[in-house]
Amino acid sequence: MNKSVTCEVYDEVLLITLDRPKANAIDAITSHALGDAFIDFRDNDDLHVAVIIGAGARFFCGGWDLKAASEGEAVDADFGPGGFAGLTELWDLNKPVIAAVNGLAVGGGFELALAADLIIAADSAEFFVPEATLGIIPDSGGVLRLPRRLPRSIAMEMLMTGRRMAIDEAKHYGLVNHSCPLNELQNTALEWAHQIAKSAPLSLAAIKSVVRETDHMELETAYEFMRSGSIKPYQKMLRSDDAKEGPIAFSEKRSPKWKGK
């Protein structure tokens, strides 16, 4: 594991910390290390939720390392099988990821947060994509995901001007699920992760798969596709022991014991 990326396990939750002073910027080597962490999380049946956080108090992630770029790292460099930051193109990760945004989420750092399922942020967090002012575009998901997460006109404004979005506006538009003081962020994100981990892992996988596969379909078409048998994690959930365990546990007034099968 690259020393800039550390992993800690808290029961069923994996905490991934990006620690690359001063701005937690990501070069190709660090992107591969993050990808290794997310792939290990994907493949470990004992881990159900991941939290990605930046070290320090100022930057969650400063995006692509422009120093590496100035030294010859190309904008289309090999950032690993999960795409930039290891997550932005990891399409087969059917487990929840929380971005705990501890400060500035800049460019690719914002794109990393957008690739997560939930965003919990410090009160001081800010989000922006300055790529257009640098002669490029945020093509690690920003130009695609941002118009799906914000009103189109607001997303286009941010993409075209690089202006910053502070925490109150981010919460107003539903971009951020929750905010808290910086000194409470890690514990708060872990608490949310543990709450999510109480749900059945196959249900969580089915939810992510159905949402991803039916995104932007018309409702009737989405229903038909969901019921067609084409979404394997959904079919696995329907036929699982856990789908039987949940109602039994409810009727017996006890906590369910998920087996993940």
pLDDT, tens digit, 9 for 90 and up, residues 173-195: 999 999 999 999 999 999 999 99
Q: Are 108 and 59 in contact (CB under 8 A)?
A: no
**How far is Cα 252 from Cα 165, in angstroms, rounded to an integer?**
48
Of 116, 112, 173, 117, which is closest to residue 142 (Cα–Cα)? 112
**How far is Cα 128 from Cα 195, in angstroms, rounded to an integer?**
29
Q: Which amino acid is at 201?
A: P
> Strands across the sheet with 49-54, in order?
5-10, 13-18, 49-54, 97-101, 118-122, 178-180
The string of pLDDT tens digits covering residues 188-238 is: 999 999 999 999 999 999 999 999 999 989 999 999 999 999 999 999 999
pTM for this prediction: 0.94
What value, to the nearest 5°, has the Cα angle with vertex 90 and ends 84 and 93? Answer: 145
The string of pLDDT tens digits covering residues 158-178 is: 999 999 999 999 999 999 999
DSSP string, 186-225: HHHHHHHHHHHHTS-HHHHHHHHHHHHHHTT--HHHHHHH
Residue 92 has pLDDT above 80, yes or no: yes
Active site residues: 111, 131
CA 107 centroid distance within chain: 15
Helices 201-214 and 241-251, interaxial angle, to 10°?
120
Q: Are 196 and 96 in contact (CB under 8 A)?
A: yes
The string of pLDDT tens digits covering residues 32-59 is: 999 999 999 999 999 999 999 999 999 9
